[in-house]
A and B are shown apart, each in its own frame.
Chain A
Amino acid sequence: MNRGRRIPARAAAVTVSLMAVLWLVPVLGLVVTALRPADQIAASGWWRAPFATQTTTALRTAGAGVQGPGDTGFVIEGGLLSPRARLQAWGLTARAPQAHAPGDSVALSGGRALTVDAEGRYRLTAPGPFTDPRGQRIFVTTATPPRLTLDNLTRVTGAEGLGRALANTLAVAIPATALPILIAAFAAHALAGMRFAGRGLVLAAIIGLMVVPPQLALIPLLSLHNALGLGKGYGSVWLAHTGFGLPLAIFVLRSAMAAVPRDILDAARLDGASELRILWGIVLPLCLPAVAGFAALQFLWVWNDLLVATVFLGNTPGQQVLSGHLRALMGARGGEWHILAAAALVSLAVPVAVFATLQRPLRRALAAGAEPRC
């Protein structure tokens, strides 16, 4: 009986764990990259972080200027590596940069000979005096022991302007989360707790507005804000986010408020409580999970937004939000992965924390927000 079910169960376990790993691996890549020293990031993939990195670089010996007399002719001596690094292989051509082992002695043209040891000390000998001032080119392959560091993170939060962008993002996100909740609470109470003609029509308009793409609204709203003298700025971006978030806010709160038993409201009304008191004293406290869920959703959306902030706030350092800052980093310094990864990691920290603490209300708000679409 049981055997028939065990195989699908095992297949399910394998599939699900594979999916979870697949979904986490890209994030892990970011975390590890952010913690690696810059030179190692470019030298090997992040998955090699636990292992020593092999780097191959082209170096030169000292030139003819430093030659001295040797046992049988002339000698140039010196070191190629920093004290901690170990030489793994070396070579003379780009085609075979690892042709020789440390300690090998290799004959060069004109009777010259070269040897390089494991510490990177080299000895170049020749029967006659050296003439080339540039020295001999050597490819060295070194192993650097694995190392993780917080340098990148401290660097981006300090000097790279990320701290400023973080403050800007908070200055956008907190009012842009609170304002729609405040306005939606009144509207949702009217739609859920009061009876009046035209209620269905209002609700239909709100559901319709939930799907309007924000791209559409940018230019008309920007010119409106300019006409009102708001221009680009924090006020402007708060209002825009409030406007875009409001339909969902009303919908989520209305769904929750509709579940509050009507008897409670009617009893309160009979006792002479005003609608304002009913809303603030009875309905909202009962709907706190929905409020928290929408707040988390809106906060994540605002925190992660790039478009609205770019258009309504601007892109100067005093206005740039995290996502805009990241985008600028990707453009200007796309090659500097250590900066990019560290900045991205910092920008993820807040939403992931919000997400972890508010996962349950967040899931409920998602489900409630999706409901009008079924």
Chain B
Amino acid sequence: MGIWSRLAWLRPWLFLAPAAVFLIVYGGWPVAGTIWRSLHQGDDAAWVGLAHYAWLWADPGFVRALANTALWLVVVPALTTALGLMAAHLSDGLRWGGLARAAIFLPTAISFTGAAVIWKFVYDYRGGDQMQVGLLNALRVWLGAEPLAWLSLPVWNSLLLMAVLIWAQTGFAMVILHAALRAIPPQIIEAAHLDGAGPWRLFWQIRLPQIRGALAVVWTAITIMVLKVFDIVHVMTNGQWGTQVLATQVHDWLFRGVPDYGRGSAVAVVLMALVLPLMLRNLWSARARR
């Protein structure tokens, strides 16, 4: 037995070491650093306790961003999952279903900045008697209504920004749900069919319960994506007209004008706190599988 054999227990840790360095430096350290910053103030880093958090609740900008984020969290995962499920299930029996799925999957490859440009051409508004070259307003004019400056109409504008994310991520939901639907043992479907279940009941009572796991996966993944959503809002409205969300607030406090790291970090910690339940659920289910 040489020295190498006796040091064999070290081997996995040697293999893990480079990754561990990165995970600590780029994962653990920033989380700790952000929490620390949210409790301190200014260049001399004086301890201020929870003052930043107390201040946040009085700040209308933050409250607005929190309310918007809550709206995003309800609307986007629900609609994206529903549309993805619809596309996955309905396209399955079609000969050209693969082609349709490719079309719906395509936007997942597009950057949020690129998506913002694409949707600018849909939401565009021109004042006065000018020809409307944005699709949505052209449609309104064609139907005889007045064109609207969509992106500056509060609440509508947030919903329209959400539409961009839904458009971009439905393909992701569809791909995962399609794989899950395909993985249902055909005997189950066959048996239910023989028992006289119609397509409607087959879907709601047999297929849907079978893919509960995949639905949760998609919902969670999209929720995390929503919490991180920054580019779409930043590029399309820059958080104006009441469209700000937590992620853009973090960015604004940290990078716009005179940076305020204390407040920016406090917003970031709130954002992290919203992710925490999902993280714990991940851990719990990963442990349950082992």
Contacts and interface: CB of A to CB of B under 8 A. Distances in A.
A109 to B, nearest CB: 25
A216 B279 CA distance: 15
A189 B17 CA distance: 12
Most buried by A among B118, B172, B217: B118
Contact of B118 (A29, A200, A247): A29
A319 B43 CA distance: 29
Contact of A206 (B23, B83, B91, B110): B23
Contacts of B117: 30, 326, 330, 340-341, 343-344
Given A17-B100, A30-B121, A306-B234, A374 B106 contact: no
A217 interface: yes
Contacts of B34: 216-217, 219-220
B118 A44 contact: no
A258 B247 CA distance: 36
A374 B216 contact: yes
B221 A370 contact: yes
Given A219-B264, A367-B175, A341 B121 contact: yes
A218 interface: yes
A184 B19 contact: yes
Interface string A255-295: 00000000000000000000100000000000000000000
Contacts of B200: 8
Contacts of A42: 133
A219 B230 contact: no
Nearest to B113: A323
A337 interface: yes
A44 to B, nearest CB: 6
A261 B102 CA distance: 33
A210 interface: yes
A23 B103 contact: yes
Interface in A286-319: 300, 303-307, 311
A76 interface: no
Contacts of B108: 355
Contacts of B33: 219-220, 223
Q: Does more than half of chain A's interface fall in helix, strand or loop, or is it mixed? A: helix
Interface string B80-96: 00010011001101100
Contact of A211 (B199, B265, B279): B279
Interface stretch (A61-69, A113-121, A346-354): A346-354
B135 interface: yes
B66 interface: no
Given A16-B94, A194-B11, A347-B114, A217 B16 contact: no
Most buried by A among B19, B108, B116: B19
B272 interface: yes
Contacts of A348: 109-111, 114
A211 B282 contact: yes
A315 to B, nearest CB: 11
Most buried by B among A206, A211, A322: A211
A220 B37 contact: yes
A197 to B, nearest CB: 9
A304 B285 contact: no
Nearest to B268: A216
Q: Does more than half of chain B's interface fall in helix, strand or loop, or is it mixed? A: helix
A304 B112 contact: yes
A43 interface: yes
A218 B278 CA distance: 22
A28 to B, nearest CB: 10
Contact of B94 (A12, A45, A250): A12
A146 interface: no
B122 to A, nearest CB: 6
B58 to A, nearest CB: 22
Interface in A192-245: 194, 196, 199-200, 202-221, 223-224, 239-240, 242-244
Interface string B212-231: 01101110110010011011
A3 interface: no
Contact of B104 (A4, A23, A206): A23
Nearest to A203: B286
A84 interface: no
Contacts of B120: 330, 334, 340
B162 interface: no
Interface stretch (B24-32, B49-57, B152-160): B24-32
B47 interface: no
Complex A-B, nearest 10 residue pairs according to Cβ-Cβ distance, in ascending order: A243-B26, A220-B33, A304-B111, A217-B30, A187-B19, A355-B109, A190-B15, A209-B27, A344-B117, A12-B90
Interface of B: 9, 11-13, 15-16, 18-20, 22-23, 25-34, 37, 83, 86-87, 90-91, 93-94, 97, 99-100, 102-114, 116-122, 131-135, 138, 167, 170-172, 175-176, 179, 198-200, 213-214, 216-218, 220-221, 224, 227-228, 230-231, 234-235, 247, 250-251, 254-255, 261, 264-265, 268-269, 271-272, 275, 278-279, 281-283, 285-287, 290
27 contacts: A16-B90, A16-B94, A19-B87, A27-B110, A33-B121, A44-B131, A45-B138, A183-B19, A183-B22, A186-B18, A208-B282, A208-B283, A209-B28, A213-B224, A217-B27, A239-B22, A323-B231, A326-B113, A330-B120, A340-B117, A344-B117, A352-B110, A354-B109, A359-B105, A370-B218, A370-B221, A372-B285
Given A45-B131, A275-B11, 11 more contacts: A196-B13, A216-B30, A216-B31, A219-B34, A220-B29, A220-B32, A239-B22, A341-B121, A366-B172, A367-B176, A373-B282
